[in-house]
Structure 1
């Protein structure tokens, strides 16, 4: 098991990435977060109203996960954050609302230190801006993965199967969750299973390129 700590935009928060069985799990934990900091930002009601006006409606459960936002300034922090998500990354308001509902912790990440570098890395794989927006909307956790510890090794492993760079981009666009799987516990056993059926390495590469989502189906099958 390994854990990778990432900095957050909010003082006193760190993101912990733990690799175990199945996909890597992301959690955000508060540390040394003083009550005095809560008075420095806008009120909870103001922040919820600000988000709702932009189509992002926070349920009580979601708000509890990002309650640290009550220490933030709408003008200095939240508006620039939403500008990046909507205008730079290219998500629609509906997509952003879906991202927040499914993975509210993403709002605590630093744009400069976490989100921008990861988005740029994904684009460098060969994805278009539109594809990137769809990837993030469907799998927002991908922006929380460590580039060096998670994304690069997994991408290199997939390429090592015999895929081209263009095929890798297609795989990530179609099934971004694959970048969150453990190489040793998920990807290698899956590849070995297909090879055990009698497929050649070349045939395996074609299968992965054409149907990367088979990885998810195989993992689900293993649970029974």
Structure 2
């Protein structure tokens, strides 16, 4: 059953031959692009503060950060290579924050040979059709690309993910926004995770395929980490066959247990029971990703201004996903103004109107009264500018 399920998912995209050979490729994916001279350099600088001062003055790190990141660079005697790396990255569109993020990921990037190690990786990404800003996003999120060999690692991985996801566009989309999924091991992560979701969790084959395309970072987790997320979802009472199950896993992946408990306590302070909280998560799991401060502000507005009870909000958690400044407040003010002028006589629930699309809200609520109450458009425009 396990093999049949996985084979069925992969066969739909003619992935099986490629998938079965990926374990051989994995042997070649971890070749380093570090300059040999840098890799073997063990001579320490005569001045122990040399690299610390360089990281502070040239990269903008704080002294404490520089001390931490200077250890792999202890062999440096000259700023020639680091200067060349920094100049190259700036020429490619990296600002100071972007450079610091890449260096903090691996300070040895400063030891690379620009022409041999860095330029080919940037050219590879350009050849894929990525813009300068796209390449910056890709490298910021996947700085280990700089450590890989283009022909032995990057190109084969691109081919594999393109086949798994079904299109190059999806691969590039996830590369720009997802951290480190591109280099996950097929044998150690992808294969076991797909098998676990299909066989043990009972997720239908077509939904496993959707997970692969929409949430590749879940498939790229360590198997034990994915199992822990599933266990947390089980504790919430989320059925594994539910279409919200994968969204719940994704939300829990982005919310630590500590932050989760903090949200439970916050909503308890507004009167929610634990069962109401769990029910709300099952209906709209992504509300877990809202910051504590914003969550508090939204609930306070719905209770103190709109007049909803905590139980009503718990049963309609999608309200919490709406933008407070751009949607909820402007629309509430529009309806309040119409009510004040005696123009709004229909007994519709605010929860229905606030969840309309912008086009529908304009058609049903604003445009019919724009001559009598031209201020309505100003109210909505003010929300758009927030």
Matched with 1:165 is 168
1:86 equivalent among 90, 105, 108: 90
Deviation digits for residues 146-165 of structure 1 (CA, Å, limit 9, x no counterpart) = 32333222222222225112
Matched residue, 2:127: 124
Q: Is the Cα–Cα contact under 8 Å of residues 9 and 110 in structure 1 kept in the other structure?
A: yes
Whose Rg is larger? 2
- Give the Cα separation in 2 of the matches to 1:98 and 1:50: 16
Alignment deviations for residues 44-88 of structure 1 (CA, whole Å, 9 cap, x no partner): 54554343233134532321111122x22x3x4332221112222
- Describe the SS at the equivalent of 2:166: coil
Tell me: CA distance 1:215–1:5, structure 2 relative to 1, closer, same or farther (3 Å).
closer
> Aligned to 1:53, which of 57, 65, 69?
57
Pick the structure with more helix per residue: 2
Please give the alpha-carbon distance, in whole angstroms, between the structure 1 residues aligned to 2:96 and 2:165: 38
Per the normalisation by structure 2, the TM-score is 0.44
Q: Does structure 2 conserve the Cα–Cα contact (< 8 Å) formed by 1:145 and 1:151?
A: yes
Task: Give the 3 Å change call, closer, same or farther, for CA 7–215 of structure 1 in structure 2.
Answer: closer
Q: When you count strand as a share of all residues, which structure comes out higher?
A: 1
Question: Counterparts of 2:85 and 2:209 in 1: how far apart (Å)?
Answer: 39
1:152 and 2:155 correspond: yes
| 2:205 aligned counterpart, secondary structure | coil
Root-mean-square deviation over aligned CA pairs: 3.0
Q: Residues 145 and 180 of structure 1 are in contact (CA less than 8 Å); yes or no, is this contact kept in structure 2?
A: no
Distance 1:6 1:84 in 2: 20
Q: Is the 8 A contact 1:106 1:141 kept in 2?
A: no
From the superposition, tell whether residues 84 and 171 of structure 1 become closer, same or farther in structure 2 (CA, over 3 Å): same
Write out per-residue CA displacement over residues 21-43 of structure 1, whole angstroms, 9 at most, x where no aligned residue: xxxxxxxxx36x457xx57xxx5
CA distance in 1: counterparts of 2:209 and 2:131, whole angstroms:
23
Q: Which deviates more, 184-193 or 168-177?
A: 184-193
Q: Say whether the 8 Å CA contact 2:35–2:111 is kept in structure 1.
A: yes
1:112 alignment partner, one of 99, 112, 115 = 115
How many angstroms apart in 1 are the aligned matches of 2:69 and 2:51?
Answer: 13
Distance 1:161 1:5 in 2: 23
Superposition TM-score, scaled by structure 1 size: 0.71
1:221 to 222, 226, 245: 226
The answer to whether residue 41 in structure 2 is matched with residue 64 in structure 1 is no
Answer whether contact 2:184 2:190 (CA < 8 A) is retained.
yes
Deviates more, 1:188-197 or 1:146-155: 188-197
Tell me if the contact between 1:56 and 1:93 (Cα under 8 Å) persists in the aligned partners. no
**Distance of 2:136 and 2:112 partners within structure 1:** 17
Give the 3-state SS of the residue equivalent to 1:189 in structure 2. Answer: helix
User: Greater relative contact order (Cα 8 A, min sep 6): structure 1 or 2?
Assistant: 1
How many residues get paired?
196
From 113, 137, 141, give the equivalent of 1:138.
Answer: 141
CA deviation map 1:164-219 (0-9, x unaligned): 1212211222224122211222122333444542223xx55543332222224564
CA 1:193–1:151 in 2, change beyond 3 Å: closer, same or farther? Answer: farther
Mark the CA change 1:162 to 1:141 in structure 2 (over 3 Å): closer, same or farther. closer
Residue 175 of structure 1 contacts residue 213 of structure 1 at CA under 8 Å; is this kept in 2?
Answer: yes
1:198 corresponds in structure 2 to: 204
Q: Secondary structure at the match of 2:180?
A: helix
What is the aligned counterpart of 1:209 among 213, 218, 221? 213
Unpaired runs of 5+ residues, structure 1, are 14-29
